[in-house]
């Protein structure tokens, strides 16, 4: 019996997998009923079962939302319009790999300049109509064109042409891109039925996903019903998604049992929430990161030694602990999150090191350096506090930082990309190439460090069309090292998605590409 107790303790500490636990429990002669009881009390995922009404409360959503995927700004529209009711050609799995979704398989050719996606057979829209490659092509073209205002414009800009060919969808890209299947998983690129005029019908909300939209009220919520013609898995009978902007109201709704899941817990009180025996708190490290960016073209930040001095003058652990209450992982001036393919952790790890700062400043001839740092909580919640803590530690290392609090309203217009040293954030991208192309390529409109490193840009182009995985890994490692050593990025922390759910529902591994279980919570969760 001693062994049984040890095993139970291991289960509660999550030291054993579900399968191992069951195997060892059976070996100890414990009944299956007893063993599964322990598992569920220890919070293990059970075998999924069908049924139930799932209610979730999200902190996003506005009256300006629409079902047009070109406009999806956040997790609310993404969860309703894509995660629950639609599908892209591909999707990410919990391990960060790209797998087919509407596409059965996909193949590159011509140095990854052409990609052929084979459409899954027998997929139907919620109105019963079969999905054809033409529907997919029209859905992609919805975001293309010179007048496009699509939020996915930067994604589809890499596409030269897309056309249907039998059961296949053929993409011709402007340049080779080995990561294109990742782009194809973007949540704006959901598949919708094509109308007679060749445009897509997004107004009806009809798509291919596990749930059909019954009602969508912008800024208030949505109701969806399981679509039995769906090709994949889905467990709940129906789903209700509510917009609850106020975090205290969201928490109350969860604890009073009116919703099963809430996103974006209040980090100040989440420790109290954890004490609630009916509630689970989930912490997922995402790709998003909170940063300070230096304009590498402007003095004094044009001097790499000054940049490195600042990188060593910030105490990221302290900020993670005090500003983010421990729900963030300290960064190392690499924008690539650890869970992304080809991610490295470049040496030396940047930590608070006053001696190194003084040495670097001496080398640059900039002792007694004074710089202005623009911050606002519009950049990220806690930016002002993070800036103030930065000022304190930098002072110890001999750098004087003037923290300037800017107006939140116009922060992205008047400060970001304008002021030489400011706070910012990135949601992150699922691949090295995507992230680097968006924010570190010399000619990228959002290159917020104005960093133009010839070697880096040469590698960026070469790695994009390189299909040999080992060679790519080497190239991306060198690029991450370059950003770390030479770039204008101070990556303070990678943020965590902190959500909570009632124990009435349960789930498997959580996706880390987006919050709300990769926005696919409705099909990936089930009633406990």
Partner 1 sequence: MHPITRTILHRLGLGALTLFIVSIVIFVMVLLLPGDFAKAILGQSATPETVQAFQKEIGLDKPAYVRYGNWIAGAVQGDFGKSYTSRVGYTRTVAEIIMPRLANTLFLALMTAFIAVPLALALGILAALHRNSLFDRVVNAVTLSTISMPEFFMAYILMLFLAVKLRLFPGLASVDADTEFFTRIYKCVLPSLTLTLVIVAYMMRMTRAAIINLLASPYIEMARLKGISKARIILRHALPNAWAPIVNVIAFNLAYLIVGVVVVETVFTYPGIGQLMVDAVRTRDMPVVQACALIFAVTYIGLNLTADIISIATNPRLLHPR
Residues in the site for partner 1, rule: CB under 8 A? 57, 62-66, 68, 71, 73, 146-154, 203, 215, 217-221, 242-246, 248-249, 252-253, 255-259, 407, 409-410, 412-414, 445
Q: Which is nearer to partner 1, 197 or 355 (CB)?
A: 197
Q: Which is nearer to partner 1, 153 or 474 (CB)?
A: 153
Measured CA to CA, the distance from residue 385 to residue 350 in angstroms comes to 20
Beta strand ranges found along 438-510 (DSSP E): 489-502, 505-507
Q: Which is nearer to partner 1, 17 or 204 (CB)?
A: 204
Measured CA to CA, the distance from residue 232 to residue 277 in angstroms comes to 33
Q: For residue 419, give Cα distances in angstroms to 161, 264, 279, 331, 441.
A: 38, 30, 44, 23, 19
Q: Which is nearer to partner 1, 71 or 388 (CB)?
A: 71
Q: Which is nearer to partner 1, 2 or 256 (CB)?
A: 256
Minimum distance, C-beta of residue 292 to partner 1, in the bound complex (Å): 17
Beta carbons within 10 angstroms of residue 526's beta carbon:
22
Three-state secondary structure string covering 221-284: EEEEEECCCCCCCCCCCEEEEEECCCHHHHHHHHHCCCCCEECCCCCCCHHHHHHCCCEEEEEE
Minimum distance, C-beta of residue 8 to partner 1, in the bound complex (Å): 32
Minimum distance, C-beta of residue 255 to partner 1, in the bound complex (Å): 5
Minimum distance, C-beta of residue 272 to partner 1, in the bound complex (Å): 13
Minimum distance, C-beta of residue 311 to partner 1, in the bound complex (Å): 25
Q: Which residues contact 495 (CB under 8 A, 6 or more apart)?
A: 286, 288, 289, 290, 324, 327, 328, 380
For residues 97 and 103, the answer to whether their CB atoms sit within 8 Å is: no
**Based on the number of CB atoms within 10 Å of its own CB, is 154 exposed (0-12), middle (13-18) or buried (19 or more)?**
middle
Residues counted in the chain: 528
Residues in a beta bridge with 124: 130
Minimum distance, C-beta of residue 149 to partner 1, in the bound complex (Å): 4
For residues 440 and 483, the answer to whether their CB atoms sit within 8 Å is: yes
β-strands 328-330, 489-502: how paired?
Answer: antiparallel
Q: Which is nearer to partner 1, 235 or 292 (CB)?
A: 292
The structure tokens 């030396």 sit at 348
For residues 266 and 248, the answer to whether their CB atoms sit within 8 Å is: yes
Minimum distance, C-beta of residue 218 to partner 1, in the bound complex (Å): 8
Minimum distance, C-beta of residue 265 to partner 1, in the bound complex (Å): 16
What is the crossing angle of helices 2-12 and 18-27, to 10°?
Answer: 170
Q: Which is nearer to partner 1, 5 or 147 (CB)?
A: 147
Minimum distance, C-beta of residue 74 to partner 1, in the bound complex (Å): 8
Nearest to 229 by CA among 248, 214, 207: 207
For residues 261 and 484, the answer to whether their CB atoms sit within 8 Å is: no
Minimum distance, C-beta of residue 203 to partner 1, in the bound complex (Å): 6
Q: Which is nearer to partner 1, 35 or 155 (CB)?
A: 155
Q: Which is nearer to partner 1, 6 or 409 (CB)?
A: 409
Minimum distance, C-beta of residue 239 to partner 1, in the bound complex (Å): 15
Q: Which is nearer to partner 1, 56 or 482 (CB)?
A: 56
Minimum distance, C-beta of residue 148 to partner 1, in the bound complex (Å): 7
Q: Which is nearer to partner 1, 2 or 64 (CB)?
A: 64
Beta strand ranges found along 325-364 (DSSP E): 328-330
Q: Which is nearer to partner 1, 223 or 366 (CB)?
A: 223
Q: Which residues contact 274 (CB under 8 A, 6 or more apart)?
A: 281
Minimum distance, C-beta of residue 443 to partner 1, in the bound complex (Å): 13
For residues 394 and 401, the answer to whether their CB atoms sit within 8 Å is: yes
For residues 169 and 119, the answer to whether their CB atoms sit within 8 Å is: yes
Measured CA to CA, the distance from residue 387 to residue 423 in angstroms comes to 8
Three-state secondary structure string covering 318-335: HHHHHCCCCCEEECCCCC
β-strands 261-262, 489-502: how paired?
Answer: antiparallel
Q: Which is nearer to partner 1, 71 or 351 (CB)?
A: 71
């Amino acid at each position: 019996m001693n062994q049984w107790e040890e095993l139970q303790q291991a289960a509660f500490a999550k030291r054993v997998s579900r399968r191992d636990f069951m195997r060892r429990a059976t070996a100890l002669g414990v009944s299956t009923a007893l063993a599964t009881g322990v598992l569920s009390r220890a919070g293990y995922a059970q075998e999924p079962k069908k049924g139930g009404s799932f209610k979730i409360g999200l902190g996003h959503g506005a009256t300006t939302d629409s079902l047009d995927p070109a406009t999806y700004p956040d997790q609310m529209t993404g969860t309703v319009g894509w995660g629950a009711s639609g599908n892209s050609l591909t999707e990410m799995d919990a391990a960060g790999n790209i797998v087919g979704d509407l596409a059965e398989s996909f193949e590159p050719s011509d140095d990854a300049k052409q990609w052929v996606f084979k459409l899954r057979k027998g997929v139907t829209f919620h109105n019963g109509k079969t999905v054809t490659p033409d529907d997919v092509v029209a859905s992609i073209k919805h975001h293309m064109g010179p007048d496009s205002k699509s939020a996915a414009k930067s994604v589809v800009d890499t596409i030269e042409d897309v056309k249907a060919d039998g059961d296949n969808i053929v993409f011709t890209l402007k340049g080779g891109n080995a990561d294109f299947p990742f782009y194809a998983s973007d949540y704006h690129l959901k598949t919708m039925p094509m109308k007679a005029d060749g445009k897509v019908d997004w107004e009806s909300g009809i798509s291919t996903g596990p749930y059909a939209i019954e009602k969508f009220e912008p800024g208030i919520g949505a109701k969806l019903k399981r679509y039995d013609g769906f090709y994949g898995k889905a467990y709940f009978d129906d789903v209700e998604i509510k917009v609850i902007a106020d975090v205290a109201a969201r928490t109350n709704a969860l604890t009073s049992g009116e919703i099963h899941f809430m996103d974006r817990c209040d980090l100040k009180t989440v420790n109290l929430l954890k004490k609630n025996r009916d509630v689970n708190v989930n912490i997922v490290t995402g790709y998003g990161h909170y940063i300070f960016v230096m304009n590498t073209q402007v003095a004094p930040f044009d001097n790499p030694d000054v940049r490195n001095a600042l990188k060593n003058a910030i105490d990221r652990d302290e900020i993670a602990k005090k500003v983010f209450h421990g729900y963030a992982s300290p960064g190392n001036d690499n924008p690539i999150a650890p869970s992304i393919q080809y991610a490295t952790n470049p040496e030396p790890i940047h930590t608070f090191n006053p001696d190194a700062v003084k040495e670097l400043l001496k080398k640059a001839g900039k002792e007694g350096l004074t710089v202005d740092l623009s911050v606002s909580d519009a950049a990220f919640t806690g930016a002002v506090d993070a800036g103030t803590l930065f000022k304190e530690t930098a002072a110890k290392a001999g750098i004087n930082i003037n923290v300037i609090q800017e107006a939140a309203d116009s922060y992205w217009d008047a400060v970001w990309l304008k002021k030489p040293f400011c706070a910012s954030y990135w949601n992150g991208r699922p691949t090295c190439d995507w992230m680097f192309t968006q924010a570190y390529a010399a000619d990228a409109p959002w290159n917020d460090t104005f960093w133009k490193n010839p070697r880096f840009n040469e590698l960026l182009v070469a790695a994009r069309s390189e299909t040999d995985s080992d060679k790519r890994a080497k190239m991306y490692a060198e690029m991450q090292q370059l950003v770390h050593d030479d770039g204008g990025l101070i990556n303070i922390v990678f943020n965590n998605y902190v959500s909570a759910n009632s124990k009435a529902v349960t789930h498997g591994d959580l996706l880390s590409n987006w919050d709300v279980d990769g926005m696919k919570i409705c099909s990936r969760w089930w009633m406990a």
